[in-house]
Amino acid sequence: MEIYLFYGKKKYFHFPVNPEEIRFTRSKGYETVNMLQHGEFDFPQGDKIKEISFSSFFPKEYDPSYCRFTKIPDPMAAVNVLNRFLVSAEPVRLVISHTGINVPVYLITYESSFRGGEPGDIYFDLTFRTWRDAKLQSRSDGAVKAAGRRTSLKVANKTYIVKDGDSLSKIAKLELGSSAKWESLYALNKGVIGPSPQVVKAGQKLVMPK
């Protein structure tokens, strides 16, 4: 499992240590009305915003037993990145491989701590809320109504720039949620990749299947 936060055009943040668990909170909105002589009644109001939360830490030193990659970020630099996400008015895209999670979110809660005996390591607790775009639409009679709908941050014909060490299965796992989708990725980009799907070169621009 890999956890990423994508922001901007080509920027992303890769969490170096996986959490022990990831918590998903879903609930339904409702309004409670108290009717005289009949008591309380609940009326559903639609789904509430979903929350995703997890806890982990930023290690000061690389340890292959739990670090997901070798070039781990400096803990303080990683903390600064999360602080920027916390105060930003723009959503970021949270991608958690093997879970189907690939959604725009806001970072709404961020707590960090230091522990004795582990100098330099920074522990954190994060909570994200899925982003929902609320647009105002004008009606023909001049009235205005709010239309809350989920809007994808993906653009048509999304592309991916191959990096050193990439493979089609790795790209499919990261971008499409499953390494098994490498065949459809290759079929769409055969003209760029060439006759061998096992060989992709850094700098190649691949079109992602819709």
State residue 137's pLDDT score: 47
Least confident of 23-27, 77-81, 163-167, 172-176: 23-27
Phi and psi based region of residue 178 (left: phi greater than 0; alpha: psi -120 to 50; beta: remaining):
beta
Chain segment 135-151, per-residue pLDDT in tens: 544 445 544 444 444 54
- Which domains are seen in the chain, by residue range? 3-135 (2.40.30), 159-207 (3.10.350.10)
State residue 210's pLDDT score: 74
Percentage of residues in the chain having pLDDT higher than 90:
17
Chain segment 152-169, per-residue pLDDT in tens: 444 456 888 999 889 998
Secondary-structure breakdown of the chain: helix, strand, coil percentages, each rounded to the nearest 5: 20, 40, 40
